[in-house]
Structure 1
Amino acid sequence: MDVAELTRELVSIPSHTDETAAGEFIESWLRRETDARVRRDEVGNVIARRGAEGASATNAANESLALVGHHDVVEPAPSQVDADGEYVVERRDGRLYGRGTADMKGAVAAAMLAFRDAAVGADDAAGELVFASFVGEEVGGVGARHAIEQGFAPDYAVVGEGSTGYSSSGVTDVAVAHKGRRGSTITARGTAAHASEVGVGENAIYRAADAVDLVRTLEAPAVDVAGETLAGSLVVTEIEGGTAMNVIPERCEVTVDERTVPGERADLERVADLEGVEWTVDQDLPPMRCGDERFATAVLEAADGTQSGSPELVTKPHATDAGWLSDAGTECVIYGPSEPGEAHTETESVSLEVLERCYETYRRTAENWPR
């Protein structure tokens, strides 16, 4: 079975509301095709291990490398589902079309094959090769967070999210950093009153407006990575308040979208110092930055040997499970087939040539790292 066939099979399995069937497929395939130690945990993550058990950070030759992906997807468009509820997968013009082809079952399939085929020894000096496919990435990294809480801690990881087409069209680059996302709510409270008696009430919208004014003065941090400036951002995206035209509002809520970068964050908590204002963090997806130049270079060399173009070290604008792993101490890079603009679309697709490229890069990396 080649990467196109395995991707087709995996993509055809619905996994936007329940990842069970996709997880069962991955687990069964790994048990059948490899001699790895395979388990599917209580939330549905599939984790397999080859080589020396108990990789130790104190012995460079005994370190662990993980090939990481996720098998959940966002809800498909009606055209991506057939009458039986199965996902439609079509092959044409050198690409596979269907929900999850790009994000990111194609990369999962490539990682499964590379995990099987990589020449990895079983002695104590060989280190450990790990495969992991998580659930719940699309809803805040549920699976990755659970695995980390249960002790999942590889020394290094290649995460198969999209990195194709960043430096130039058709080239699969190695991403060494990405932004995170912190979503928060500012709640302003006041005292309701009839609008004809302005002095009796306390206008929550005015208090929210003061908070918005403060947000607009805050500077989002930026960091230089791989010759690029990875810049954070801070923007108010929603506002809701008031109950009627003639009532002074007692409550107003403002939503803030913040893109974070490795290192400092905007001082957004300052809004809570304003009278009648509360600040609540609703979601906090961590950013990622690879701190091991040798590892990033090793993956780049493996990538360079699999394609005619010249891959580069790049950054990504959005959060992935690499953020959770990096936050827990794993050195991560991102290398995958998806191109900008492919994920989550009605015409989602992936290049078969690039899938083969990813398989070969994953295999070469597994065989040559650590070194």
Structure 2
Amino acid sequence: MEHVLAAIEERREELFSLLSELIAQPTVSPPARNSDKAQTLVAEKLQALGFEVDRWTVFPGDDNVVGVKKGTDFRNYKSLIINGHIDVAEVGDDSGWTYPPFALTKGGDGRWYGRGVADMKGALAASLFAIQMLHEHGIELKGDLAFQSVIGEEAGEAGTLAAIERGYSADYALVVDTSDLQMQGQGGVITGWITIESPVTLHDGMRSRIIHAGGKVHGASAIEKMMKVIASLQDLERHWAVMKSYPGFPPGMSTINPAVIEGGRHAAFLADRCALWITVHFYPDETHEDIIREVEDHVRRAAAADPWLRDHPPVFRWGGRSMIEERGEIFPSLELDKEHPALLKLQAAFEKQTGRPAVVNMSPSVTDAGWFAHAGIPAVIFGPGELSHAHAVNESVDPKQLVVFAQTVARFLVDWCNTKRE
């Protein structure tokens, strides 16, 4: 095994060359629908390493790629999924970049620069390189190994969910998203639309008759009624801040953001429709189904106290498989099982490689890892790169992290996929 680890260090330029190829493909999302060439690179690499490759279209122009390498005794030994997303954050105006965003460039500080080096093509390239080194040195795995290069994470598009729905599963999932080589769980995020709609459209001249004594018209402005919904959400958010907490998160991380409001048709009419787009953050020990029930129950109770909303209650639409196509997303939470044998082996691999204790904590962000937990597949987030550099101008990564990550993954693969099932 030591010769594999030495080869990863000695041949690191091959890792960087693969990363350069991936960075050269501008798979920015949004607008997305642009990952064909990058996914072809991944698929060809997997085929060269002996994987059976499954490629299918999730959205036109955006395919998932999953490679599976059957273990030599796969029925009796542990399996693993390595998961990462091929899309990167949008760049927009690149005039603030010191280096071109889609050309891997070494800066004067020794770091690699380019969109996606930290989030998360660096991890994809390093994972593939670790697998390549094991393959070239004849190291066999007795359990199955699946490598997933999925689309859509940056725009809340459920590429990972699509892979799970296609039937891919394992004893453990390693989501190699940005974590600064820390091993992490995460809270969750869900977006939702709350809509208030009047069955009639009233002219502005009717306003006096719906708000003044003796007007005798049971009408309302949907925009004004939405203000009561927003107030109820603020009350619930404050209640959560007092009553909810989770180790590893600062107080008040469970929030309800009224992000977008749309309503009204013309200044000559009372607003007969108003829609509110909210973003809800929740803790690792909660599910998005729990959160939906809590929010809906609270808002409905507030609406029941209003004479007009009681007869015209808010309507809810939650989540979605794409922020681009449906203006909705879900990132389920991931509560770490800190005693899971795979996590313990990953910690041991990192500590043996670096001589430092592994850091196990909670990510302040969200990733696709929650979809595995939601499907009953234990998982962890572990990848190179710092969140402060992800999505940033002049995104960069420490090349030493990429090498250490590849070595740690190689150690972990050999240990976990050669662990016998009980």
Does the Cα contact within 8 Å between 1:69 and 1:104 map onto a contact in 2? yes
Does the Cα contact within 8 Å between 2:220 and 2:270 map onto a contact in 1? yes
- Alpha-carbon deviations, 1:282-337, whole Å to 9, x = none? 33221112336232222122222333654310101222111112211211111111
1:37 pairs with 2:45: no
Identity of aligned residues (%): 27
The amino acid across from 1:248 in the alignment is L
Does the Cα contact within 8 Å between 1:19 and 1:72 map onto a contact in 2? yes
The amino acid across from 1:214 in the alignment is S
CA distance in 1, matches of 2:344, 2:381: 12
Distance 1:109 1:81, change over 3 A: farther
Task: Determine the structure 2 residue equivalent to 1:280.
Answer: 317
SS of the equivalent of 2:371 reads: helix
Does the Cα contact within 8 Å between 2:118 and 2:395 map onto a contact in 1? yes
SS of the equivalent of 1:224 reads: coil
Q: Which moved more, 1:153-162 or 1:282-291?
A: 282-291
SS of the equivalent of 2:353 reads: coil
Task: Determine the structure 1 residue equivalent to 2:295.
Answer: 268
1:188 pairs with 2:196: yes
Q: Give 5+ residue unaligned stretches, structure 1.
A: 165-171
Task: Determine the structure 1 residue equivalent to 2:147.
Answer: 131
CA distance in 1, matches of 2:246, 2:79: 28
1:252 pairs with 2:267: no
Pick aligned residue for 1:236 from 226, 244, 258: 258
Decide which structure has the larger Cα Rg and report it. 2
Task: Determine the structure 1 residue equivalent to 2:140.
Answer: 121
CA distance in 1, matches of 2:399, 2:95: 19
Task: Determine the structure 2 residue equivalent to 1:71.
Answer: 86
- Matched ranges for 1:317-328 at <5 A: 317-328=364-375
Does the Cα contact within 8 Å between 2:176 and 2:381 map onto a contact in 1? yes
Pick aligned residue for 1:46 from 55, 62, 65: 65
Q: CA deviation at 1:278?
A: 1.3
1:366 pairs with 2:384: no
Q: CA deviation at 1:41?
A: 2.9
CA distance in 2, matches of 1:112, 1:269: 44
The amino acid across from 2:103 in the alignment is V
CA distance in 1, matches of 2:329, 2:151: 18
SS of the equivalent of 2:229 reads: helix
CA distance in 2, matches of 1:77, 1:161: 22
The amino acid across from 1:279 in the alignment is F
SS of the equivalent of 1:66 reads: strand
Instruction: Compute the RMSD of aligned alpha carbons.
Output: 2.8
CA distance in 2, matches of 1:65, 1:52: 10
- Matched ranges for 1:144-159 at <5 A: 144-159=160-175
SS of the equivalent of 2:189 reads: strand
CA distance in 1, matches of 2:249, 2:257: 26
Q: Give 5+ residue unaligned stretches, structure 2.
A: 1-12, 304-308, 319-327
The amino acid across from 1:302 in the alignment is A
Pick aligned residue for 2:379 from 332, 336, 340: 332
Pick aligned residue for 1:21 from 29, 37, 45: 37
Q: CA deviation at 1:173?
A: 1.2
Task: Determine the structure 2 residue equivalent to 1:289.
Answer: 335
Q: CA deviation at 1:365?
A: 0.7
Question: How many equivalent residue pairs?
Answer: 353
Richer in strand (by share):
1
Does the Cα contact within 8 Å between 1:233 and 1:260 map onto a contact in 2? yes
CA distance in 1, matches of 2:129, 2:385: 18
Richer in helix (by share):
2
CA distance in 1, matches of 2:386, 2:337: 25
Task: Determine the structure 2 residue equivalent to 1:169.
Answer: none
CA distance in 2, matches of 1:214, 1:356: 50
Distance 1:229 1:110, change over 3 A: farther
Task: Determine the structure 2 residue equivalent to 1:168.
Answer: none
CA distance in 2, matches of 1:120, 1:292: 28
The amino acid across from 2:271 in the alignment is P
CA distance in 2, matches of 1:309, 1:335: 15
The amino acid across from 1:76 in the alignment is V
CA distance in 2, matches of 1:77, 1:352: 26
CA distance in 1, matches of 2:279, 2:368: 19
CA distance in 2, matches of 1:315, 1:152: 26
Distance 1:317 1:230, change over 3 A: farther
Does the Cα contact within 8 Å between 1:15 and 1:21 map onto a contact in 2? no
